[in-house]
């Protein structure tokens, strides 16, 4: 009778087949999934990615069963390598086709980038390219300094580069780099990146208060100082930038191509394509990004003792990038004779448009007349480019 009940309620009975340490990890992941769903529902974290991620974490760690004598699930298996295994699993595991066709080759990162490109304004970047790029370069501090730090902790060069790119605060870039250089760590690195992006945006305002004097936080910037940039100029910039960057950094050319095709659709005023990329491609890829990443985060993936180190290094990378961006913003303030609000420096940490909104929110809290969002979008978009460049360099040197 007990065996029959155990067979019927197999997900519960599998707890008895695990050691105490694994049971605790499995329960912790289920609890973490509930927490992500709750915080996403409260809009404390980004619900677009993290709500489906949390649900998938709950389900994949709860729905454990025994297949051919091994504990597994019916969601997907990222460790398959032989063609016959992949083909067979795609007929059984319901997320396996999405993983194989969109994740294992980096396509998901490119789809997200297309959607980001179609909602990204280029005005201030084109009007003030040098200022924007220099601030964005400063905000890559974490992407650079975390690399030797990760190597010192025992990670290989490829693994260290994949962890360091978390400092760019650009989820698709993290996906692309980890899939190219450290596929075996793709899941923990990507999950850490996406969870930390939401958490870090809550931390950055405190860093601003600590590092930027309050009078400087409320500096008004003259909106009329932004030269009007025509759609034709922005379209030309997108084509030239995509061409030049792809020639210089071919390893990252799929990302450049995806981002700038989105920009081109926006600036060429193609409403049907724009709606498709924004409402369908970006929304759909973001949903499956969160759901599949959550389903990948099963208990047997996170038993690697280096996961804690990845979590620590990921946070260090994002904090360092925030510090670098703020310092670059303060330098821009000095060089401009006080005309630039230094808070636009945090926007150089590139997730579009979240950090630019953080800069605007912090400025508005001090001065209700400080409208800096259009200026912050310059470093914000430049940060996408600088992170792709660093990713391309890492991949080219280490692949």
DSSP code at position 99: I
The token pair at 389 is 């460049």
Predicted confidence band of residue 151 (pLDDT cuts 50, 70, 90): very high
Name the residue with higher pLDDT: 239 or 188.
Answer: 239
Q: Render 328-390 in DSSP notation, one character per residue.
A: HHHHHHHHTTS-S-GGGGGGGS-STTHHHHHHHHHHHHH-TT---HHHHHHHHHHHHHHHHHH
Instruction: Tell if the pTM clears 0.85, that is, is over it.
Output: no
* pLDDT one-digit tens code per residue, 109-147: 899 989 989 988 888 888 888 999 999 999 999 999 999
Q: For residue 12, is pLDDT > 90?
A: no
* pLDDT one-digit tens code per residue, 333-378: 999 998 999 999 999 998 777 889 899 999 999 998 888 998 999 9
pLDDT at position 264 is 93
Nearest alpha-carbon partner for 14 in 94, 83, 71? 71
Q: For residue 156, is pLDDT > 90?
A: yes
Q: How many Å apart are CA 211 and CA 244, to the nearest integer?
A: 36
Predicted confidence band of residue 81 (pLDDT cuts 50, 70, 90): low
pLDDT at position 21 is 81
Question: How many CB atoms neighbour CB 371 within 10 A?
Answer: 16
Contact 286, 278 (CB under 8 A): no
DSSP code at position 250: G
């Amino acid at each position: 009778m007990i065996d029959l009940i155990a067979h019927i309620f197999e997900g519960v009975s599998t707890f008895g087949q695990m050691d105490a340490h694994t049971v605790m990890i499995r329960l912790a992941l289920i609890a973490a999934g509930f927490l992500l769903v709750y915080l996403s529902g409260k809009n404390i974290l980004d619900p677009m990615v993290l709500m489906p991620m949390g649900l998938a974490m709950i389900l994949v760690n709860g729905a454990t069963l025994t297949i051919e004598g091994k504990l597994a699930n019916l969601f997907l298996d990222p460790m398959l390598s032989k063609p016959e295994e992949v083909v067979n699993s795609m007929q059984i595991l319901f997320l396996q086709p999405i993983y194989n066709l969109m994740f294992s080759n980096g396509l998901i990162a490119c789809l997200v980038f297309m959607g980001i490109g179609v909602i990204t304004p280029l005005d201030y970047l084109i009007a003030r390219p040098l200022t924007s790029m220099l601030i964005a370069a400063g905000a890559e501090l974490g992407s650079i300094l975390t690399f030797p730090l990760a190597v010192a902790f025992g990670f290989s060069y490829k693994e260290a580069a994949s962890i360091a790119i978390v400092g760019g605060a650009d989820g698709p870039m993290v996906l692309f780099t980890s899939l190219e250089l450290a596929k075996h760590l793709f899941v923990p690195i990507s999950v850490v990146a996406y969870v930390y992006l939401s958490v870090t945006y809550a931390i950055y305002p405190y860093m601003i208060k600590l590092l930027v004097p309050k009078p400087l936080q409320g500096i008004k910037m003259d909106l009329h100082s932004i030269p009007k940039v025509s759609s034709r100029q922005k379209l030309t910039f997108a084509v030239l930038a995509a061409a030049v960057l792809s020639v210089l950094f071919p390893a990252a050319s799929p990302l450049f191509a995806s981002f700038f095709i989105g920009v081109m659709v926006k600036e060429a005023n193609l409403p049907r394509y724009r709606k498709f990329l924004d409402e369908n491609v970006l929304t759909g890829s973001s949903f499956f990004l969160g759901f599949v990443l959550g389903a990948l985060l099963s208990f047997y993936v996170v038993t690697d003792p280096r996961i804690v180190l990845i979590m620590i290094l990921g946070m260090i990378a994002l904090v360092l990038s925030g510090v670098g961006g703020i310092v670059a913003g303060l330098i821009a303030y000095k060089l401009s004779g006080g005309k630039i609000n230094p808070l636009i420096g945090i926007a150089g940490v590139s997730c579009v448009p979240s950090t630019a909104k953080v800069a605007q929110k912090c400025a508005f809290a001090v001065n209700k007349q400080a409208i800096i969002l259009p200026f912050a979008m310059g470093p914000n978009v430049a940060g996408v480019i600088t992170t792709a460049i660093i990713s391309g360099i890492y991949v080219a040197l280490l692949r």
